[in-house]
Amino acid sequence: MPFAPKRWLTLALCLTALGVAGGVNAQSTETTEPTTSVDAAGDVSRGDDVAGLIRTPVDGRVHEVAGRFVTAARQSGLTVFARIDHRQAAISRDLALLPNEVILFGSARGGTPMMQCAATAGIDLPMKALVWQDDDGQTWLGYNDPAWIAARHGIADCDAVAPLQQSLDALVETVKAP
């Protein structure tokens, strides 16, 4: 029986998330005010423990914060393409997972200029936000730094990076305040 297009998208997103998670080498640094730096290899860090991931602690339960993010994104004129509840998927297969949701969002005005700088940036677009709960019960909001995406695709000097960073920073500030 063939998969419906929506199931293919869900499967592809889950496999992508698993692939990304499998390559993560996490440390225990917590950052709320990231600062951007680029090392000699061109890797971008904003003070986080996972290369390219900007994360900030937020108040509220994961599902609630994800809902605030979706609302704020839509109010900002962004399109919300999907909301994936990894925990519910795990539970449906009798697996345990702390609350964890991914939101795919973006706009042609924000993403297209990056892809004009390098078509390969399309693999990292649309943008994704991850809302998760850690072992201590803290809820976090994270997303890939546009500067990291640009450096990854060899377009660190792309004019689209700064506006995208500013819009994401403003969106996150809106979501942090319940």
pLDDT per residue over 136-159, tens digit each? 999 999 999 999 999 999 999 999
- Please state, for a pLDDT cut of 70, what percent of the chain lies above it: 72
Is residue 26 situated within a structural domain?
no
Contact 81, 105 (CB under 8 A): yes
Query: Is 45 domain-assigned?
Result: no
In a domain, 79, yes or no: yes
User: 157 lies in a domain?
Assistant: yes
165 with 110: CB under 8 angstroms?
no
123/176 Cα distance (integer angstroms) = 27
What's the Cα-to-Cα distance from 11 to each of 51, 105, 110, rounded to whole Å? 25, 18, 26
pLDDT of residue 43: 43
CA distance 144 to 11: 21
User: For the segment 66-91, what is each residue's pLDDT rounded down to a tens digit?
Assistant: 999 999 999 999 999 999 999 999 99
Q: Is residue 137 part of a domain?
A: yes
Residue 21 forms part of a structural domain: no
**DSSP annotation of 2:** P
Residue 68: which CATH number?
3.30.310.70
CA 150/CA 158 separation, integer angstroms = 7
How far is residue 76 CA from its own chain's centroid? 17
Residue 44 lies in a domain: no
For residue range 31-54, list pLDDT tens digits in order: 344 444 444 444 444 444 789 999
* 3-class DSSP assignment, residue 120: helix
User: pTM for this one?
Assistant: 0.74
Question: Is 140 part of any domain?
Answer: yes
Count up the domains in the chain and report the number: 1
Domain ranges, residue 139: 54-176
